[in-house]
Amino acid sequence: MRRTNVEPIRKAALVNAAISEIADAGTLEVTVGQIARRAGMSPALAHHYFGSKEALFLAAMRHVLTVYGAEVRGALALAEGPRARLDAILRASFSATNFRRDVVGAWLNFYVLAQTVPEARRLLAVYQRRLRSNLVAALRPLVGAEAGHVADRIGAMIDGVYLREALGQRAPDGQTAVAQVGAVIADALAASGCRQG
Amino acid sequence: MRRTNVEPIRKAALVNAAISEIADAGTLEVTVGQIARRAGMSPALAHHYFGSKEALFLAAMRHVLTVYGAEVRGALALAEGPRARLDAILRASFSATNFRRDVVGAWLNFYVLAQTVPEARRLLAVYQRRLRSNLVAALRPLVGAEAGHVADRIGAMIDGVYLREALGQRAPDGQTAVAQVGAVIADALAASGCRQG
Amino acid sequence: MRRTNVEPIRKAALVNAAISEIADAGTLEVTVGQIARRAGMSPALAHHYFGSKEALFLAAMRHVLTVYGAEVRGALALAEGPRARLDAILRASFSATNFRRDVVGAWLNFYVLAQTVPEARRLLAVYQRRLRSNLVAALRPLVGAEAGHVADRIGAMIDGVYLREALGQRAPDGQTAVAQVGAVIADALAASGCRQG
Amino acid sequence: MRRTNVEPIRKAALVNAAISEIADAGTLEVTVGQIARRAGMSPALAHHYFGSKEALFLAAMRHVLTVYGAEVRGALALAEGPRARLDAILRASFSATNFRRDVVGAWLNFYVLAQTVPEARRLLAVYQRRLRSNLVAALRPLVGAEAGHVADRIGAMIDGVYLREALGQRAPDGQTAVAQVGAVIADALAASGCRQG
DNA sequence: AATGAATGAGGATTCATTCAT
DNA sequence: GATGAATGAATCCTCATTCAT
């Protein structure tokens, strides 16, 4: 009855350790040994479970994106009306779960990983596509044909805020981040309203 | 019969080779050997001139930032009026010189370098500070007290656009980039105008 | 309700798996895991039964030599007269049982094993001694005092044919092998006859 | 004028060290470190010159075969008449240069290498083909149409003698080896003569 | 000025082996 | 009896860096 299946537990521990380690080091140049030690096991075991360093990195990236995606979906489910939907996306993007030192620090390095590893590139592309389609859906009722362009801007803005936060030495400030991107959205809507109204 | 001083030539060759190599590899994990070979010399010579891999990377980063800074300064010198100044900054940021595959590819990695190497962090901070002050100066007459916040948004936006371009597989499109950031600026001004007027 | 004793079955499975695996790989550098998997069990069980990789290899070697020895003994028992005895040895040496891809491939590696592991060397020495004494016994009536020398030549010849077969990519051809060694024997006898008669 | 080119010297040293090390260990499972140390340099340098362990092994094998080939060619050049040619091949095969502890010990392992590494297989095939054609050329005048078959037997015999010598603990005895193979040849010729005459 | 030669340090990965269940 | 879990030890290979020439 016991014989608890440790595999998922260990894998999760490794994934989290990888994220933290990458964030702390600020680099992908972390050794499997460091990650394994942080996860409380031997490097050999890490290889046993993931087969390679790259696979571990990809799992870490997938994890971050999955959690992010889940949170966005959850927030969207509760949102009523376009404005609320935009808000939901923003809040999820800079929530305490996703906009953590760890994750933000790792994020930048996942971009670097995507330059080399096709699967990482694919994951990032999926994220961007999804974000864009969510934004467009929420924006269409508000700005009509402009939705696509506005979504692109907001997407870039989110990435830019993440990037800058990755460099800051203080803990990420979701509050301010939301305000910044929110202002861009507000401006876009206001401008659209001005034009149209 | 002066003996031409080859030092600056060699150093420049190495710096350019480093930028290209980093961009091509998409990583800082390039060997000194690769860089030196691309620059047409031996790894030993690269060390002779720069003393260490890190120093070479820093020189490359400094070079990129210097060229960028010079171009901005040049453009600003010719600009008359706040709108023209904003335009100048934008155009310089996405000019054919700075918004090249090379440079954009290296850029992302310089952010990574800044996570580890203090001097790199300092360089990046200088760049951000300068950009911000240029933006604020141009924005003040247009949006008054909002200038600081708007400048922050635009700065983040520029970085975001660079970041996304680093991942794109096609050659960077300065045109579109200018349009995207330009729209954020325009919206901010319009919104400000709406509010005030 | 006896509980069938699985031990010998498992051990035999492992031994056969080891032989096949070595032959397929063409090397002793096969992992215990590969062998165990091929035998349908876990590496840990293989260790449970044999205690070490080396012991498993030795068991495999012993098995091959035992089967070979048994076949030779069987054939000799039926043979009448010196010529028939020589023939019996040849046929057994290149029979379908012993001259299989598996076994031939493993054979070469057992020679290598014997360079390192004393017990393996001992096993090989026993085999060679036995083969020699069988050959001498059969040759004495035919070539008299020459028997020892002729036996040595035939022994070397058998090994040489095995060796060359180990490298061939096609399935071993017992027919041809017998013919080759047979010719050496025939020549020896003929020459002896020529000399004497 | 100085600037002695050390590359060939180091490479030769490594090749010799590899042969000795393999022979001493009786296995291909020698580390690059061991070989390098024996050759008086660091493992890194060994890799610098050969790129990989496998490449070093192949170079060692090629060296052995080259030396052997050269000696055979040299001996054949001086030989007059078919018998002398056969003799030359034999003497070269078991000369003090080729039939050394080192070489014989490595030889067996080259056969193993050939099971895994295609290039090694190719080298061995070249050796066998050349040996056979030399033998056939010398045998044709003596045994006519039988030359091919006889050559095959002698080839196998030579390999067999090498194989057995690899296992012996005493230094190889070229004398005896020549005698053994020589006897097979003599028998073949005598038998052929008997038949024909 | 320039480079070939050389190495120490380090890292991913593999594997035989052990052990608790 | 059987195995999943776990690891220490080892090995190949890479690379920044140094140095003699």
Quick one: angle between helices B101-116 and B7-25, nearest 10?
A: 90
Per-residue pLDDT tens over the stretch C59-87 = 999 999 999 999 999 999 999 999 999 99
Which residues in chain D are contacts of C25 at CB distance < 8 A?
Answer: 115-116
Interface of C with D in 33-72 (CB under 8 A): none
- Find the Cα–Cα–Cα–Cα dihedral D97, D113, D133, C104, rounded to 10°: 120
Show which positions of strand E are touched by protein (CB under 7 A). 1-21
Question: Which tokens in the block code for residue C168?
Answer: 């061939």
Q: What are phi and psi of A39, to 5 degrees?
A: -85, 0
- CA closest to C1' of F19 belongs to B44
Helices (H) and strands (E) in chain B, counts: 9, 0
Kindly state whether C160 is in contact with chain D, defined as any CB-CB distance less than 8 angstroms.
yes
Find the residue in D nearest to C120 (Cα): D167
- DSSP labels for chain D? ------HHHHHHHHHHHHHHHHHHHTSS---HHHHHHHTTS-HHHHHHHHSSHHHHHHHHHHHHHHHHHHHHHHHHHH--SHHHHHHHHHHHHTSTTTSSHHHHHHHHHHHHHHHH-HHHHHHHHHHHHHHHHHHHHHHHHHHGGGHHHHHHHHHHHHHHHHHHHHH-SSPP-HHHHHHHHHHHHHHHHHHHHHHH-
pLDDT exceeding 70 applies to what percent of chain B?
Answer: 96
Spanning CA of C153 to C1' of F10, the rounded length in angstroms is 43
For B185, the 3-state DSSP assignment is: helix
What's the burial of B151, exposed, middle or buried (CB within 10 Å: 0-12/13-18/19+)? buried
Contact indicator for B120, B58 with CB cutoff of 8 Å: yes
Across the interface, which of B29, B128, B183 has its CB nearest the CB of A29? B29
Across the interface, which of D28, D149, D180 has its CB nearest the CB of C153? D180
φ/ψ region of C40 (left if φ > 0, alpha if ψ in -120 to 50, else beta) reads left
Contacting partners of chain B (3+ CB pairs under 8 A): A
Find the residue in A nearest to B188 (Cα): A187
Segment B38-60 mean pLDDT? 97
Alpha-carbon distance A45 to nearest alpha carbon in chain B (angstroms)? 26
Kindly state whether C178 is in contact with chain D, defined as any CB-CB distance less than 8 angstroms.
no
Spanning CA of B34 to C1' of F16, the rounded length in angstroms is 12
Contact indicator for A163, B159 with CB cutoff of 8 Å: yes
What pLDDT was estimated at residue C1? 47
- CA closest to C1' of F18 belongs to B44
Per-residue pLDDT tens over the stretch A112-167 = 999 999 999 999 999 999 999 999 999 999 999 999 999 999 999 999 999 999 88
Alpha-carbon distance D36 to nearest alpha carbon in chain C (angstroms)? 21
Q: Is C111's CB within 8 Å of D153's CB?
A: no
Q: Is the pLDDT of residue D188 over 80?
A: yes
Segment B7-34 mean pLDDT? 96
Q: Is A115's CB within 8 Å of B121's CB?
A: no
B-interface mutation test, from A54, A90, A115, A152, most B Cβ less than 10 A away: A115
- CA closest to C1' of F6 belongs to A45
Q: Is the pLDDT of residue C116 over 60?
A: yes
Per-residue pLDDT tens over the stretch C140-168 = 999 999 999 999 999 999 999 999 999 88
Kindly state whether D158 is in contact with chain C, defined as any CB-CB distance less than 8 angstroms.
yes
Q: Is B108's CB within 8 Å of A109's CB?
A: no
Non-local CB neighbours of D128 within 8 Å, separated by 6+ positions: C164, D155
Q: Is the pLDDT of residue D196 over 70?
A: no
Per-residue pLDDT tens over the stretch C8-26 = 899 999 999 999 999 999 9
Q: Is B29's CB within 8 Å of A26's CB?
A: no
Is there an interface between D and C (3+ Cβ pairs < 8 A)? yes
Non-local CB neighbours of A22 within 8 Å, separated by 6+ positions: A28, A30, A57, A60, A105, A106, A109
Contact indicator for A148, A188 with CB cutoff of 8 Å: no
Question: Which tokens in the block code for residue C113?
Answer: 């094993």
Which residues in chain B are contacts of A166 at CB distance < 8 A?
Answer: 111, 115
Per-residue pLDDT tens over the stretch B56-112 = 999 999 999 999 999 999 999 999 999 999 999 999 999 988 899 889 989 999 999
Alpha carbon distance C105, C99 (integer Å): 9
Average pLDDT over all residues of chain C: 93
Spanning CA of C67 to C1' of F9, the rounded length in angstroms is 37
Alpha-carbon distance A124 to nearest alpha carbon in chain B (angstroms)? 9
Spanning CA of D43 to C1' of F14, the rounded length in angstroms is 12
Of the listed ranges A12-21, A97-106, B156-165, C24-33, the least confidently predicted one is A97-106
Non-local CB neighbours of B69 within 8 Å, separated by 6+ positions: B127, B130
Of the listed ranges A31-35, A110-114, B40-44, B164-168, the least confidently predicted one is B164-168
Q: Is C156's CB within 8 Å of D164's CB?
A: yes
Nearest nucleic acid nucleotide to D50, CA to C1' distance: F13
Nearest to B185 by CA among B147, B159, B128: B147
Spanning CA of D1 to C1' of E2, the rounded length in angstroms is 17
The number of angstroms, rounded, from the C-alpha of B45 to the middle of its chain's C-alpha atoms is: 27
Kindly state whether D6 is in contact with chain C, defined as any CB-CB distance less than 8 angstroms.
no
- CA closest to C1' of E20 belongs to A3
Contact indicator for D165, C165 with CB cutoff of 8 Å: no
What pLDDT was estimated at residue D85? 97
Kindly state whether A26 is in contact with chain B, defined as any CB-CB distance less than 8 angstroms.
yes
Q: Is the pLDDT of residue B158 over 60?
A: yes
Find the residue in D nearest to C146 (Cα): D183
Question: Which tokens in the block code for residue A112?
Answer: 């670097």
Show which positions of strand F are touched by protein (CB under 7 A). 1-21
Non-local CB neighbours of A8 within 8 Å, separated by 6+ positions: none
Q: Tell me the pLDDT band of D101, cut-offs 50, 70 and 90.
A: confident
Segment C171-180 mean pLDDT? 92
Q: Is C26's CB within 8 Å of D183's CB?
A: no
CB-based burial, A26-50: b 16+ in 10 Å, e otherwise: bbbebebebbbebbebeeeebeebb
Non-local CB neighbours of B50 within 8 Å, separated by 6+ positions: B11, B14, B56, B59
Q: What is the pTM of this model?
A: 0.93
Question: Which tokens in the block code for residue A57?
Answer: 């990195």
Kindly state whether D194 is in contact with chain C, defined as any CB-CB distance less than 8 angstroms.
yes
Check residue B169 and report its DSSP letter. S
Kindly state whether A184 is in contact with chain B, defined as any CB-CB distance less than 8 angstroms.
yes
Which residues in chain B are contacts of A180 at CB distance < 8 A?
Answer: 149, 152-153, 156
Q: Tell me the pLDDT band of B168, cut-offs 50, 70 and 90.
A: confident
Which residues does strand E reach (CB under 7 angstroms)? A 2-3, 30-33, 43-44, 47-48, 51-54; B 6-7, 10, 41-45, 48; C 30-33, 43-44, 47, 51-54; D 5-7, 10, 41-45, 48
pLDDT exceeding 70 applies to what percent of chain D?
Answer: 96
Nearest to D118 by CA among C26, A21, B96: C26
Segment B103-123 mean pLDDT? 95
Q: Is C116's CB within 8 Å of D26's CB?
A: yes
Q: Tell me the pLDDT band of A1, cut-offs 50, 70 and 90.
A: very low
Q: Tell me the pLDDT band of A101, cut-offs 50, 70 and 90.
A: confident
